[in-house]
Structure 1
Amino acid sequence: MSRSRYTPRERRHRAIHAFIDRDCPVSALTPGTKVPVKSCPQCDIKSPDYVRHHGIKDCPHKPDMCHGFHAATLDHDKAQSWIDRYPDLNFAISTGPAGLVIVDLDTNKNGAPVPDKYANIPGVKDGYDVWSLALERYGARHPTDTMQVSTPNGGLHIWHSLPPGVVVNKSEGAFGWLVDIRSTNSYIIGPTSVTKDGEYRRLGDVTEPTVAPDWLLHHLEHTGHKPKPPARPRPRIIRQRSDQDDREYRGKTVQDLAHELATAQETERHAVLVRVTAAAAYLVHRGLCDEAEMRDAMYDAGRDAQRTDYEIHKAIESALSYTAGRAA
């Protein structure tokens, strides 16, 4: 059926339901943006009406649009209720539950200098060129048999599905300059979504992602995106805490620490990130919260504090390693 029979808004509504039919959970984005719909006051950690909770699983109200891509749904009725309230909403796909890995190529739209790593390689000027270097390394060609989406700023999303049992992390590893990997704990903007810069458009006639090729999975392991084998369980009992430690952290929960980070002054955010992740690591090792709960809280609060995923990841890993070492 011809696209021209539908308005841009209608095509977006149809696309939302089509992705649900493909078992790709969708979440709501603020109309005209790439940003999740703002959480309600009960779920906004910066709001005075915030109700302490850990996420979508213990949300103080019936789960709806709060908590971003964690609230992604396969329920047609729920998605339609979002459309009814926000007819011009954009949408995203939660890539982990959908079993997807997306290679996100960016242009150098801000004219940043080429990193030293690539300075002596002729022709490298953006993420497309870094992707080409990876293709050349493995004797591969740019795929033409899988779904691809152009972005309004000239970037490209290359969609692949993951083989059963394969997990790819987003916030760990580094593919290369201006190349991002979106899979576990991430989302991708859905085609037909529109920002002030234009529309996310599916390219060509291929409408389905093919299975990620072996060379790409191998490369993602090399770049640190594939999870390492589980580490030995860290001991829960640690050294005797000092009186100063107890005065500073007594009675605090991981959500208290997350709130401290999310509301930190701009000039203090890195220092607060280091401090609260260290305190949260002690909570984990004392058995007062789960490591997964701690990680989710620190990532959410760190992003609110405009910290990069890499910076948050390094702070968490350093804190957990330090507390484990002191427990040994």
Structure 2
Amino acid sequence: MPTLLPTASLKLALYLAAMGWHIVPLSPTSKRPLANCPRCHSTARPGSTHPIETCPCLPTGRWCHGVHAATTDPARLSTWWQRQPDAVPGVAAGPSGLVLLDLDAHDDPLPADPATGLLPGIDLTGDPALAELARIRTGLHTLTLLARVRGGPHPWPTTPEHQPVVTTTPSGGRHLWYRAPSANLRQALGKLGWQIDIKAGWNYGLAPGTTTSTGTYRLRSGDLASPGRLPEWLAHEVLRVTAPTPTQPRPSPTLRRERCYGAPAAYLTTVLTRGAAHLATLTDGRQRALSALAYHVGGLLAWSGLPEHQVSAHLITAGESSGLPTRLATRIVHRALLRGVRAPLPPPPMPVT
């Protein structure tokens, strides 16, 4: 039998925090972190980030810094919920030492090329599953297919050490919370499989037992005090799509002296960094600001020489850090970036060295 969870949001938040789950209060309707503190927004310099390490808001119970403020501190959680009683608890994956496999059950069409789109990075040409595509309707079906291709017939071994914390979502999907195989992971949307999103690092998911305006995320199975670790085959696949892109070796001192500070890649990196910092100060207009930034960056992308996937990931992270939900930030970035790429901007003046 699954654990009976407290029904009130604060009680649930305190219950999970006591087990090491880092909690962040979310809006019950938008399911995104509460907006940044207006006082911080009004005093922060444009283009700067209000540092969480010296933030005067958090110790006094005011809300600030989005998912980065997630905590297990019962006093802070109690103060937050006293100020915002209708908030619902979310879980910051990375600080909690967890990784979330979000298996959707949306009414989305299958990929145009199922052989390469169902399991990105794995060619299913000739696989029997392609003859029975009607059986694949949700992320759970996709994960079962991945399990067969990579790890055998069962996605979840029966041994307790591999059992995730499983919740059913209001839309009919499932959330699988595992212990993170690495502390240095990032989100991966659709990269593991069709209708499968991975939340890791500074990403969050609805806490087991949470009730939002759309319904309850009901605990189905698993040990909240000790979520299981990923089966070896699944850990390999998760690491394949969530591990950070290897950093490039730092250029030699001679090369740096020869390259002016306004070089295209450096210029666009500065635009990204400043834009992300500005987004973090906003309480209103975050979607519009993220779209404008992505469009501007897209217009300079070809000139800069930076990889599109790297720039896109940076922009999505900036949107998430400002409090936008992952799916919304991703949609905004992809659309605006593409529009910008299709309308290249003239290169800005470069300083003469």
Q: Is TM-score (shorter-chain normalized) higher than 0.5?
A: yes
Cα deviation for residue 204 of structure 1 reads: 3.4
Instruction: Classify 1:37/1:236 alpha carbon distance in 2 versus 1 (closer, same or farther; 3 Å).
Output: farther
Q: Across the two proteins, how many residue pairs are aligned to each other?
A: 292
The reply on whether 1:214 has 2:232 as its aligned counterpart is yes
The reply on whether 1:142 has 2:159 as its aligned counterpart is no
Give the corresponding residue for 1:112. Answer: 108
Cα deviation for residue 270 of structure 1 reads: 4.1
Structure 1 stretches of 5 or more lacking a match?
A: 283-292, 319-328
Moved more, 140-149 or 209-218: 140-149
Checking the alignment, whether the CA contact within 8 Å between 1:27 and 1:92 is kept in structure 2 is yes
Rounded to whole Å, the distance in 2 between the matches of 1:311 and 1:112 is: 20
**Which whole-Å deviations, capped at 9, do the CAs of 1:194-220 have from their partners, x for residues lacking one?**
122211111136434101221111112
Rounded to whole Å, the distance in 1 between the matches of 2:66 and 2:97 is: 18
| Alignment RMSD (CA, Å) | 4.5
Rounded to whole Å, the distance in 1 between the matches of 2:270 and 2:192 is: 41
Instruction: Classify 1:39/1:59 alpha carbon distance in 2 versus 1 (closer, same or farther; 3 Å).
Output: farther
Please give the TM-score of this superposition, normalised by the length of structure 2: 0.66
* Alignment-mate amino acid for residue 117 of structure 1: D
* Alignment-mate amino acid for residue 139 of structure 1: G
Checking the alignment, whether the CA contact within 8 Å between 1:173 and 1:225 is kept in structure 2 is no
Instruction: Classify 1:301/1:34 alpha carbon distance in 2 versus 1 (closer, same or farther; 3 Å).
Output: closer
Give the corresponding residue for 1:308. Answer: 330
Cα deviation for residue 168 of structure 1 reads: 2.5
Instruction: Classify 1:121/1:233 alpha carbon distance in 2 versus 1 (closer, same or farther; 3 Å).
Output: farther
Rounded to whole Å, the distance in 1 between the matches of 2:3 and 2:179 is: 26
Checking the alignment, whether the CA contact within 8 Å between 1:170 and 1:225 is kept in structure 2 is yes
Q: Indicate the SS of the match to 1:93.
A: strand
Residues 227-266 of structure 1 aligned to structure 2 (within 5 Å): 227-234=244-251, 238-239=259-260, 241=262, 254-255=274-275, 258=278, 262=286, 264=288
* Alignment-mate amino acid for residue 239 of structure 2: E
* Alignment-mate amino acid for residue 88 of structure 2: N
Cα deviation for residue 228 of structure 1 reads: 4.3
Cα deviation for residue 93 of structure 1 reads: 1.1
The reply on whether 1:68 has 2:66 as its aligned counterpart is yes
Cα deviation for residue 229 of structure 1 reads: 3.9
Moved more, 138-147 or 176-185: 138-147
Give the corresponding residue for 1:193. Answer: 210
Cα deviation for residue 128 of structure 1 reads: 1.6
Instruction: Classify 1:281/1:73 alpha carbon distance in 2 versus 1 (closer, same or farther; 3 Å).
Output: farther
Rounded to whole Å, the distance in 2 between the matches of 1:205 and 1:301 is: 32
Cα deviation for residue 180 of structure 1 reads: 0.4
Instruction: Classify 1:307/1:162 alpha carbon distance in 2 versus 1 (closer, same or farther; 3 Å).
Output: closer
The reply on whether 1:182 has 2:199 as its aligned counterpart is yes
Moved more, 268-277 or 111-120: 268-277
Match of 1:155 among 133, 151, 173: 173
Checking the alignment, whether the CA contact within 8 Å between 1:254 and 1:297 is kept in structure 2 is no
Q: Indicate the SS of the match to 1:74.
A: coil
Cα deviation for residue 86 of structure 1 reads: 2.3
Instruction: Classify 1:43/1:177 alpha carbon distance in 2 versus 1 (closer, same or farther; 3 Å).
Output: farther
The reply on whether 1:38 has 2:60 as its aligned counterpart is no
Give the corresponding residue for 1:54. Answer: 49
Checking the alignment, whether the CA contact within 8 Å between 1:149 and 1:191 is kept in structure 2 is yes
* Alignment-mate amino acid for residue 181 of structure 1: I
Match of 2:25 among 15, 25, 28: 28
Cα deviation for residue 67 of structure 1 reads: 2.1
Q: Indicate the SS of the match to 1:34.
A: coil
Cα deviation for residue 129 of structure 1 reads: 1.4
Q: Indicate the SS of the match to 1:37.
A: coil
Cα deviation for residue 106 of structure 1 reads: 0.3
The reply on whether 1:84 has 2:86 as its aligned counterpart is no
Rounded to whole Å, the distance in 1 between the matches of 2:194 and 2:228 is: 25
* Alignment-mate amino acid for residue 8 of structure 1: T
Checking the alignment, whether the CA contact within 8 Å between 1:16 and 1:26 is kept in structure 2 is yes
Instruction: Classify 1:93/1:178 alpha carbon distance in 2 versus 1 (closer, same or farther; 3 Å).
Output: same
Structure 2 stretches of 5 or more lacking a match?
A: 116-129, 307-313, 342-353
Rounded to whole Å, the distance in 1 between the matches of 2:154 and 2:269 is: 54
Cα deviation for residue 92 of structure 1 reads: 0.8
Give the corresponding residue for 1:8. Answer: 7
**Which whole-Å deviations, capped at 9, do the CAs of 1:101-134 have from their partners, x for residues lacking one?**
11110002xx322112327452222212111111
Rounded to whole Å, the distance in 1 between the matches of 2:112 and 2:94 is: 33
Rounded to whole Å, the distance in 2 between the matches of 1:304 and 1:105 is: 16
Please give the TM-score of this superposition, normalised by the length of structure 1: 0.71
Percent sequence identity over aligned pairs: 22
Rounded to whole Å, the distance in 1 between the matches of 2:96 and 2:165 is: 14
* Alignment-mate amino acid for residue 19 of structure 1: L
